[in-house]
Amino acid sequence: MRESVIYQDILEEGREEGREQGELSAKLNSIPRLSVLGLSVEQIAQALDLEIEQVQQVIEGQN
């Protein structure tokens, strides 16, 4: 029984990490579109709840 609980905890932790990575990926993929619409780095960071540095890195990476 104990192994089953440990297995379930590990499985749930993996699922949560996957969800978080998926959410971050979606946010990062939105940055170029928002930039094209004329939003500032600060506006994008605020709208997506990201750090300004993260937004800047994505924008600089596409140039």
Q: Which domain holds residue 18?
A: 2-61
* Non-local CB neighbours of 47 within 8 Å, separated by 6+ positions: 34, 39
pTM to 2 decimal places? 0.76
Give the pLDDT band of residue 1 (cuts 50, 70, 90). Answer: low
At residue 62, what are phi and psi to the nearest 5 degrees?
-90, -10
Q: At how many degrees (to 10) do helices 41-48 and 2-36 cross?
A: 150
Q: What per-residue confidence (pLDDT) applies to 46? A: 98
**Domains: count for the chain:** 1
Instruction: Read off the pLDDT of residues 4-63 as tens digits, 9 standing for 90 and up.
Output: 888 888 889 999 999 999 999 999 999 999 999 999 999 999 999 999 999 999 999 986
